[in-house]
Chain A
Amino acid sequence: MQGIVISDVIIGILATGVRLLAPFLFASLGEMFCQRSGVFNLGVEGIMMMGAFVGFFVTLRLGNPYLGVVMAILAGIVLGLLMALISVTMQAPQGISGIGLHMFCWGLSGLLFRVYVGFITSIDGFKPLPIPGLADIPVLGPILFQHNWMVYLSILFVPISWFVLFKTNWGLKVRAVGVAPQAADTLGVNVNAVRYQCLMLGGALAGLAGAFLTVGQANMYADNITAGRGFIAVALVYFGRWNPVGILLGSLLFSMMNSLQLWIQVLGINFPYEFAVILPYVVTIAALAVAVKNVWAPTALGKPFRRESI
């Protein structure tokens, strides 16, 4: 313990924080598109569980983690479609259908794991991919540039999402459909098609987030491996005010607090670990309470769209 240099610890905390960002960023950016289009998808957590299992299982059986990620994304898209079918086409209340989807995925992933695997085993996931030249920069190198490719991708998704949302024709439709679906409809925008697309994108990203947990981080699968990250991702969308930059800030805050509590435990600092584990959640709730007040929100969020209503 004595040999540890304070600066190394700080770099370690920051580097772990960046690594923990990925699942939050994938899941909440996907959820942001869903909510921007007016659909509140509480099933993210469940989709992440399925993504985590599919990513793990494909990698375990076929030995190819890339294939695992692709299959996890496909599973996410299918589940996103299921959510769209229930909440957009059948117009079921979104909160309940999201919770239903979550329970379904939780049960299904657990069942599949017990039937086809049955014991805890590890897989060969992705190795860190230090970026040549940048990885050797003191301080910044270890913090930012010595992660696996999924971490880089998740951070790249922030500017990409921003660009798609604010600079493309499709992004304009998404923004319109979540605020004034009737108005978008009168201009010939297919409201439900846009919502389907957003739910599929959100599902794909949630599946990717889940796969990261097994293939990119833990290299194993355990029941409830997502541990509420999907619900945190939903909260982060509110915290980030439906904006990719805000979501990045919220995710950073949360993952850094998580990293801090991990390091508190690792270093054996004299601090009850129960409190350490609570820390990130307390900070998130406090931050939400302060930040999410009188905030603009997509006004049609949670409301199914029906054209012929008088």
Chain B
Amino acid sequence: MLKIHGISFEQKQDPGRCRITMESQEGLRIKDVKMQGIVKTFPGVLANDHVDIDVHAGEILALLGENGAGKTTLMKVLYGLYRPDSGEILINDEPVSISSPRDAIDLGIGMVHQHFMLVPSLTVTENVVLGLRSSRGPLLDLESAAKRIEELASRYSLAVDPYSPVWQLSIGEQQRVEIIKALYRGAELLIMDEPTAVLTPQEADELIRVMRGMADSGRAIILITHKLHEVMAVSDRVTVLRNGRLVDTVLTKDANEKLLAQMMVGRDIPQTLRTDETSQGDPVLVLDDVWADSDKGPPALRGLSLEVREGEILGIAGVSGNGQREMAEVIAGLRKISSGSVRLKGEDMTNSTPAKMIQAGLGYIPEDRIVDGIVQSFSVEENLILKDHHKPPFSHGIFLQKDAISEFAKEMVEIYDIRTPSIDTQASHLSGGNIQRLILARDISRNPACLLACYPSRGLDIAATEYVRKKLLDVRAAGCAIILISEELEEIFNLSDRVAVLYEGQIVKVADVDDVTLDEIGLLMAGAGLTETDDGNSRELVDMI
């Protein structure tokens, strides 16, 4: 039997058994919630354009759409975080006014945000009771609150220690705290914003059962997502948004993934896949027994070893927080290692500097493209030459060569299809997808020997995602060694030649992609050694993913 965060996965063979049969509908006030004609604009952006949705008690409504389709904005309106320009909200057909989260909470609406809204320095209990009246007047009553949290936790299988400080919890546990927070406030409509994005497949699976249980107990759930398989697996109805407008609402049983994808994107989407065979090139980047400290002090990398070969993509699978960021920083020369070695193209680059790594042929697509990938206040052309600005043809002596720079920038904008009003536009005005194109243009045009791609498609819409993936495959075909860190196993499996699993600062497994299953990788990501898995289990998991 496998245990992750105290939850037994043996239960998975019989989903019906652990269904929550509790107080059912009695005592619940919300029968249905409607949003009608919601319009919300931000400067220059029409985020919601006359959107109507409705959700009923006991059902899970999936709110599907690409990034920027307006899903989160719509839900933030419902939760009182944004004021709509027009439109109204009805609960049980009565118009209600929601001008702050406090109003939403009082009406029985709870929200689990995509970026968790937790105070890391406080304990679980303190986070849960924050903002609530205490039974002891001005004094906190943490003991009885902790007891109620434990009750809720066991009733909905949301195991978590009420006395742990939140910064010590895993992402999965933090999410449970978010759900408990909403339930503790008596939420009858629970909005979940991309809840599975940060979870392992097993945790996602568990969460889906928790959501089902909550719906069965008479609550309404709105699930924001852009993952089609999730919609099919858990929802009763689907509302699809595109470019801030309502496309349609359909019953899940009448839909399929292909149909939903078309509704979401507005056209057919090709799948980018690695098709050709793996070539057996020479190792380009080699990390050997690398130890490095985290920002907090304890080592984040504990004897990490890996090698990436010419012309291959090595996918790094792992739950975020297991050393991905530190590993990327070590490779980029941004973080010192305490022992071990880093070699690039056979040369020792241990504890080198970012400049030396760049000159030695490392390309880097950083995790946080806005903070680490560009200088926001610089123009597109300035950002494009950042890494070679001191070399000809971009500079002679101490002077920048304006003509050469402009010519290069225009060429890059053309080739990489960077949508920008001009090459003098400030980079911060570009959309996320175009910033990523800019970074790709800068780093790929330098013909890197090794490309470190950290979550390259995170937060991008389908078109930009496909572009990034296609570019990675192009670079691979040109002989570059690519490290692909991603939270999407599907991406890793579609692109990589080999996959390595990173767990607690170590590579616990490296294998050819064709030799492993998603299920095995998922279990390794959760910290389980490769043990035998029973067949029923694997099947269900693969379906889930």
Question: Given contacts A169-B140, A170-B138, are A184 and B131 in contact (CB under 8 A)?
Answer: yes
Interface size class of B (residues with CB under 8 A): 20 to 34
A185: nearest residue on chain B (CB-CB)?
B101
B residues near A307, Cβ cutoff 8 Å: 81
- Complex interface: chain B residues within 8 A of A310 (CB): 42
A188 CA to B113 CA in the complex, in Å? 15
Interface assignment of B493: CB less than 8 Å from any CB of chain A: no
Query: Does B309 reach chain A (CB closer than 8 Å)?
Result: no
**B119–A180 touching, CB < 8 Å:** yes
List CB contacts (< 8 Å) of B263-300 with chain A: 297
A167 at interface, CB cutoff 8 A: yes
Q: Judging by beta carbons under 8 Å apart, are B139 and A167 in contact?
A: yes
Interface residues of A (CB under 8 A from B): 167-173, 175-176, 179-180, 182-189, 294, 296, 307-308, 310
A172 touches which one: B100, B116, B130 (CB < 8 A)? B130
B100 CB contacts on chain A under 8 angstroms: 188
Known A-B contacts A176-B130, A179-B120, A296-B121; A187 and B101 likewise in contact (beta carbons under 8 Å):
yes
A17 to B120, CA, bound (A): 38
Contact check, B130 vs A189: say whether CB atoms are below 8 A apart. Answer: yes
A186 touches B42 (CB 8 A): no
Given A168-B139, A176-B130, A189-B131: A183 and B102 within 8 A (CB)? no
Task: Indicate which residue in B82, B117, B121 contacts A186 across the interface (CB closer than 8 Å).
Answer: B117
Q: Is the CB of B140 within 8 A of A182?
A: no
Interface centre among B122, B130, B140 (most CB of A within 10 A): B130
Does more than half of chain A's interface fall in helix, strand or loop, or is it mixed? helix
CB <8 Å contact, B138 and A186: no
Residues of A within 8 A of B262 (CB): none
Cβ distance B191 to chain A, nearest Cβ, rounded Å: 11
In the bound complex, what is the Cα–Cα distance between A252 and B32 (angstroms)? 61
Whether the Cβ atoms of B42 and A180 lie closer than 8 Å is no
From the candidates B117, B127, B131, name the one contacting A182 in the complex (CB within 8 A). Answer: B117
Across the A-B interface, how many residue pairs have beta carbons closer than 8 Å? 76
Complex contact B181–A187 (CB within 8 A): yes
**Could you tell me which B residues sit within 8 Å of A by CB distance?**
42, 79, 81-83, 100-102, 105, 111, 113, 116-122, 126-127, 129-134, 138-140, 181, 297
Rounded to whole Å, the gap between the CB of B193 and the closest CB of chain A is: 11
Closest to A300 in B: B119
**B118 near A180: Cβ-Cβ < 8 Å:** yes
- Interface pairs (19), CB distance under 8 Å: A168-B139, A169-B129, A169-B138, A171-B140, A172-B126, A172-B130, A173-B130, A175-B119, A175-B126, A179-B119, A180-B118, A182-B117, A185-B81, A186-B113, A187-B105, A187-B131, A187-B181, A189-B130, A307-B81
The answer to whether B117 touches A180 (Cβ under 8 A) is: yes
Give Cα A182 to B81, complex, Å.
10
A188 to B109: give the CA distance in the assembly, Å: 12
Q: Which residue from A169, A175, A180 sits with its C-beta under 8 Å from B139?
A: A169
B122 near A176: Cβ-Cβ < 8 Å: yes
Q: Indicate if the CB atoms of A188 and B140 lie closer than 8 Å.
A: no
Q: Do A188 and B120 have beta carbons less than 8 Å apart? A: no
Residues from chain A with a CB closer than 8 A to the CB of B101 are 185-188
Q: Are A186 and B79 in contact (CB under 8 A)?
A: yes
Q: Which of A172, A176, A186, A187 contacts B140 (CB 8 A)?
A: A172
- Verify A180–B120 contact, CB threshold 8 A: yes
Flag if B130 contacts A184 (CB, 8 Å). Answer: yes
Q: How far is the CA of A187 from the CA of B178 in the complex (A)?
A: 11
Residue in B118, B121, B140 whose CB lies within 8 Å of A168:
B140
Interchain nearest-CB distance for B141 vs A (Å)? 9
Instruction: Write the nearest CB–CB distance from B352 to chain A, whole angstroms.
Output: 25
Of A182, A186, A187, A189, most B-chain CB atoms within 10 Å:
A186
Contact B140 A183 (CB under 8 A): no
Which residues from A are CB-within-8-Å of B105?
187-188
**B302 → chain A closest CB, angstroms:** 21
Residues of A within 8 A of B129 (CB): 169, 172
A305 to B138, CA, bound (A): 25
Complex Cα–Cα for A240 and B49 (A): 52
Selected from A170, A175, A187, the residue in CB contact (under 8 A) with B121 is A175
Report Cα–Cα, A30/B138, bound state, in Å.
20
Taking the nearest CB of chain B, how far is it from the CB of A93, in angstroms? 18
- Among B116, B117, B297, chain A packs the most CB atoms within 10 A around the CB of B117
Closest CB-CB distance, A208 to chain B, in whole Å? 22
Please name all residues of chain A whose beta carbon is closer than 8 Å to the beta carbon of B79 when the two chains form the complex. Answer: 186
CA distance A41 to B140 in the complex (A): 28
Chain B residue nearest to A181 in the complex (CB): B119
In the complex, the 5 A-B pairs of residues with the closest C-beta atoms, listed nearest first? A188-B102, A187-B131, A183-B117, A189-B131, A180-B119
Give the CA-CA distance A184 to B120 in the complex, in Å.
12
Q: A296 CA to B81 CA in the complex, in Å?
A: 29
Cβ-defined contact, A179 with B121, below 8 A: yes
Please name all residues of chain A whose beta carbon is closer than 8 Å to the beta carbon of B120 when the two chains form the complex.
179-180
Say yes or no: A186 contacts B81, CB within 8 Å.
Answer: yes
Chain B residues lying within 8 Å of A175, measured Cβ to Cβ, are 119, 121-122, 126
> Cβ of A180: which chain B residues have Cβ within 8 Å of it?
117-120
